[in-house]
Amino acid sequence: MLNDTTIAFIGGGNMAAAMIHGLLAAGSAPERIRVAEPDPDRREALTRQYPVAIMADNPAVVPGAQALVIAVKPGKVVGVLGELGPLLAPETLVLSIAAGVSLAQLQQNLRADQPLVRVMPNTPALIGAGIAALLPCAHLSPAHRLLARQIMASTGDVVEVEEESWMDGITALSGSGPAYLFLMAEALSDGGVACGLPRALADRLAVKTLIGAARLIDESGQHPAVLKNQVTSPGGTTIAGLVQLESAGVRGALIAAVQAAWHRSQALSAGH
């Protein structure tokens, strides 16, 4: 389906670039991808990276587009849809990757029956290892649902959710979650340096340990607690480290971090 679909992007930031990269790798024809980006430096950068049409004007990318990806800052979404809504064909699928902008807000400047999906991606999409949560509008057809999944699957895994109230929690967990892992990678490396390891070696060990552990959880299908117990020998080094982590409240701190991001996402969604 992708190689027969014309996809237009409003905004050419990092997430849009990740999606363009993934779409091209998945077989989308370059001539079927268009990007509207007002910043001339960003347009130049995108032109160097991708053989797709890069334009300065938002309305110029709309004619003939079967899917429109809204990839601008959340505060600009309503204005952009006010400009473009009247230009869209009734069958054009609109995907918004703007955090905190509800389906109702998106629908304000669109036809009542416009196919619409709200999406929460995350930054590992830049390397095709993202996960995107899709929230479809109530009237989305099976064909549009499939197209939305295919577009986002070009950047990694896809999950579909039914409750819009979950989107703030998804933003807090998977949207903000990579930053928590980056912090952990940095801290693990610092720990290795504190033990006398060279920085380059400590960095590599920390990163590969996180990647390997995450893959093991994903591919084994076992609960993280089961895998943790398997590597924790009585009186060994791992339990000594885990005791210190529990004493420092690391588990509670991570839970609190997700909750803090959740509360902030709720506030942003409410316009605060």
Q: Which domains, from first to last, does the chain contain?
A: 2-166 (3.40.50.720), 175-269 (1.10.3730.10)
Structure confidence at residue 270 (pLDDT): 82
Structure confidence at residue 65 (pLDDT): 96
Distance between first and last Cα of the chain: 40
Structure confidence at residue 268 (pLDDT): 84
Contacts of 108 (CB under 8 A, 6+ apart): 78, 81
134 three-state secondary structure: strand
Structure confidence at residue 132 (pLDDT): 97
- Overall pTM surpassing 0.75 (yes/no): yes
Structure confidence at residue 46 (pLDDT): 96
Contacts of 30 (CB under 8 A, 6+ apart): 24, 50, 51, 52
DSSP state at residue 127: G
Q: Residues of the chain whose pLDDT is less than 70?
A: 272
- Total Cβ atoms within 10 A of residue 124: 18
Structure confidence at residue 271 (pLDDT): 76
140: closest CA among 159, 156, 118? 118
**Residues 157/149, Cβ–Cβ less than 8 Å:** no
**CA separation for the pair 134, 136 (Å, rounded):** 6
CA 249 to chain centre: 28
Question: Does residue 15 come out as left (phi exceeding 0), alpha (psi in the -120 to 50 range) or beta?
Answer: alpha
